[in-house]
Structure 1
């Protein structure tokens, strides 16, 4: 089945921090995106491609908007959806007072399905088409999530939390049961349709060395799965890790000793990293998920993007619901810009949109599969609306460059500015548009 979309179009080809800006993206003021059976077949100028199409092919034409790949969220907790905006704590107290009691409910498969349905609908409405997702310690939480994601034909990654110490008894597993449950979930779900599995130790303080080693064993036995955990988010957390693992050289070294670093390893936060840790992350092609909304909400600190870039660390964005306070990647770009301002550093809008799309794909080792419109990529994309609100419509009247448009979207944009969301070329969110065949 051939589908054709016309409009202003943008996607990234490389990291603007590593190549010249003009070589990092492709922008078409009047472009055509051609999709066959849910896969990108061609992208180019409308004036060149329209004459090559059969005359009876319907063209969906978007005006006053921007077609671009769907956003990629590389750190988010679906079980924390209903505890978003819980007041007044920093990380460790927040976990104890809010997170753990909420996660207890996810032993119930039907509860998990209900929350997963709402969570995924919220992501799609915000223009996020792929996410790396925490479950809970309960095997049922992952079964529920993957069941709903599969029904929606989404590319999603999720894993069962591993947690065998310093946590409530009702959320504790063991090194062996965590291994066994994760192995069973990998065998059932990893690479089933568009679903992939992530081995998910919550963070070092809640995992014994034995459990971290079993996670490393799982990773070596299943090299195509992911490793997803937290790293250096909060200063009290870092001090606690030092007490719990006195023989390690630092927080990252705890994971390194268990062989958890690698091309598909994503560490959330990394707010307080030493240069030596960034160097090690870069050497191992590991990634850091930058979660500005969460870092500000919990008072954790300001991520040092320039430090990560200096050591060639793969960086992407995470909303980190529910410490993060928004599903919107546009709002996350807003927070990211401000954190870098507070570090006396500039975050260019091209760089920011790269991190939200192709940067996320690179972090997840999915470049060529999602994240841009290269031939053969899966056609998950969105349309951003320049006229979504009277304010943005009025502000856009004064734009003279693409950079200005992107910056305005990232500063005052949110879920309202996602006109449509498409999964494998099929619209799943949004209203009918001019020229659309119904």
Structure 2
């Protein structure tokens, strides 16, 4: 039976980063018709009810129905160490991340954390993530299996490191290539799952390993490639010392075949002009991780500058360096960083980054991240009065953006009224 969801509908006809708020489409009393996991029609509620009288109707009243959130850069193995005190990037890795990741050679442990992580993000309205796993193939198997059991569209890859990491968290150029290829063959394109070739970052990969992964990507260009870029100034200096022949940080990837349209670079805060030029020229994506950037003290992402160059930009929690599983909190942090940059980011841009923008950064904007006929029916339903504080502010609103912005700034998982995955409710009030 077809499902007809009624409520306020929020979707996009363009990119508000370039076109302004008019790129968004809002219906105060609209509907979304779903059949076989796919959005079949979008329109006004009364019209859809009349045209599809046999559809099963779920009426969400004044709640907002949106595409589910897309989190474009996460580390599911860091679930247990989220909100750990007092470290910057390199100390964070050595003190918290690497000891925790050592545990993921145990398939049972990996499965427990993968299940917990996906339950947490679904409770926060996130329907797609792109995750780094650990060096252990079992960590990928666990994550993909849990995602498959929930019918989620996810992206994930084995993190590859052959230096500057503890014994037990290092592979080799050959094993990184071979393990990744075996995982691609096992999981990539299976249902809604996609494999991502994943060197952690240049400091933990020798040139030989980067070369091997570049060769793998050249052989499997149907996969994305994800890594980190210019997160902190001391990291950039470290890269310079490890790769003295490179023109800049990005060049450590480019010279080994790890730059192109399917590349997804997390953070990208401290970029040189040449790096911005090359990212724009090659069609690579960058991902803004605002709660992580403030929590670990990395710096202020320059959204306006990179958007003006036409870069594809996603948004991400970067858990567990990021301090929240919530894309609402992530949007709020992006707004706060924008204010520090002198840019009061419009709510339409924040919402677009968390949905269609992140989907575009992962090259699936034709399937998820928006509400339109033919799109996969991954949806979140937002209560605009989820707490007394949010409700009293929203009631003063003159338009949808004034009504939505308090939830962006003050909302949490209580604002998530329902979540639909591939046309089926997985959380419903």
Partner of 1:112: 110
1:152-191 Cα deviation digits (max 9, x unpaired): 1000000001100111111000000010000000001000
Q: How far has the Cα of 1:47 moved from its partner?
A: 2.5
Partner of 2:77: 79
**Within 2, Cα distance between the matches of 1:301 and 1:376?**
39
Distance verdict in 2 for CA 1:295–1:20, change over 3 Å: closer
**Within 2, Cα distance between the matches of 1:412 and 1:288?**
26
**Within 2, Cα distance between the matches of 1:411 and 1:18?**
23
1:16-61 Cα deviation digits (max 9, x unpaired): 1222532x1211111010011010100011122221112x432100
Partner of 1:375: 373
> What is the TM-score normalised by the length of structure 1?
0.97
**Within 1, Cα distance between the matches of 2:413 and 2:212?**
40
Q: How does 1:195-274 map to 2 (within 5 A)?
A: 195-274=193-272
8 Å CA contact retained: 2:172, 2:209? yes
Gaps of 5+ in 1: 432-438
**Within 1, Cα distance between the matches of 2:215 and 2:44?**
49
Q: How does 1:14-413 map to 2 (within 5 A)?
A: 14-22=14-22, 24-54=23-53, 56-413=54-411
8 Å CA contact retained: 1:70, 1:371? yes
**Within 2, Cα distance between the matches of 1:13 and 1:199?**
31
**Within 2, Cα distance between the matches of 1:340 and 1:18?**
16
**Within 2, Cα distance between the matches of 1:50 and 1:124?**
29
More divergent stretch after superposition (387-396 vs 168-177)? 387-396
**Within 2, Cα distance between the matches of 1:351 and 1:203?**
29
Q: How far has the Cα of 1:307 moved from its partner?
A: 1.4
**Within 2, Cα distance between the matches of 1:392 and 1:345?**
24
How many residues align? The count is 429
**Within 2, Cα distance between the matches of 1:210 and 1:94?**
26
Q: How far has the Cα of 1:405 moved from its partner?
A: 1.7
**Within 2, Cα distance between the matches of 1:273 and 1:405?**
36
8 Å CA contact retained: 1:275, 1:307? no
- SS for the counterpart of 2:16 is coil
Where has structure 1 moved over 6 Å in runs of 4 or more?
A: none
- SS for the counterpart of 1:170 is coil
Is residue 7 of structure 2 the alignment partner of residue 4 of structure 1? no
The root-mean-square deviation of aligned C-alpha atoms, in Å, is: 0.9
**Within 1, Cα distance between the matches of 2:198 and 2:20?**
36
Partner of 1:436: none
More divergent stretch after superposition (133-142 vs 400-409)? 400-409
Is residue 424 of structure 2 the alignment partner of residue 426 of structure 1? yes
8 Å CA contact retained: 2:181, 2:216? yes
Q: How far has the Cα of 1:287 moved from its partner?
A: 0.6
More divergent stretch after superposition (271-280 vs 121-130)? 271-280
**Within 2, Cα distance between the matches of 1:35 and 1:117?**
27
Q: How far has the Cα of 1:331 moved from its partner?
A: 0.4
Gaps of 5+ in 2: none
